[in-house]
Structure 1
Amino acid sequence: MDKLAELIALRAQRKLGVKPKLAAVGSAARPDKISAAQMLAEAQTKMDVMVRESHCRMIRHLVRRWGGQMQVVVDQACFGLAGIEQLPDEDLIQLHQDLERAQDCIRDGVSFEDAGLLRSRYG
C-alpha cells in the first residue's frame, strides 16, 4: 500500500512540474550474493506478471459475461482493497477459481449460497 501511495505521489508531482528527488544507490545497498536456491524459491513464490495479468483479464471477462451475480463474489474478495490488482497472488488465483465455480453454478441453477461462494455478511 505504501509503495502505491508513493507512486501516486510521484506521478502527481510530475504532472505539477515538480521533479522528483533522485538519489544514487551505491553498492553498499546491494545485498550479498543470493544463492540459486534462494532465487528459485523467490521466483516460485511470486507470480509472473503476465500470468497475473491473465488471471485479472479472465476475472474481468467473467464479470462482464455474467454481470452482477459475479460482481458480488469479486467485491467480497476485494473488500477493503481498491480492486483485484491489489489481491495477493494466492487470493487472486482463489478468486479466479471461485468465479469459474460460480459460472458452473449459474449454468446448473445452483445458488451461490448453496455452493458456499458467499460468506456471511459481517465476518
Structure 2
Amino acid sequence: MKKKLSITLLGIIILYGLLLIPDNSTINIEIEGNSTPFIWDQDERWDFLESKFTEAKADKEIITPGVIEALISDLFSIVDEIENREPKPDDVIFDELLLSFFELAPVIGAQDVQNPEFFEVYN
C-alpha cells in the first residue's frame, strides 16, 4: 500500500514538474499591442458624446424633462417608422436610430435618477 502511494505521489510530482516547463513558442505581445486597433473612424462622435455627458453631469440645468422627452420622442418616431416600413438591414434609418440613441445616452447617463422610458427603448 505504501509503495503504491509513493509511486502515485512520485508520478504526480513528475507530471507537475513537466507542466512547469515553459513552452518555447514566442508570443509577439509587443507587436500585437502596437497594432492598429479596431477603428470606426468616428472619434469626433465619441468625443462629442463624452463632452455632452461631462457638460450634462456638471450642469444639471441642461437636463430638463422637456429636452429628454424630445429626444425620446425622436427615438420613438424612428422606431415607429422602422416598424411601419420594414426596411432592409442596410437602410439608412438604422444609422439614424443609432445616432439618435447615442445622442440620448449621455443625457440619460448624467441623470441622478434612472429613466424607465430609455430602458424601454433600449430593450
The reply to whether TM is greater than 0.5 is no
TM-score by length of 1: 0.26
Structure ranking higher in helix proportion = 2
TM-score by length of 2: 0.26
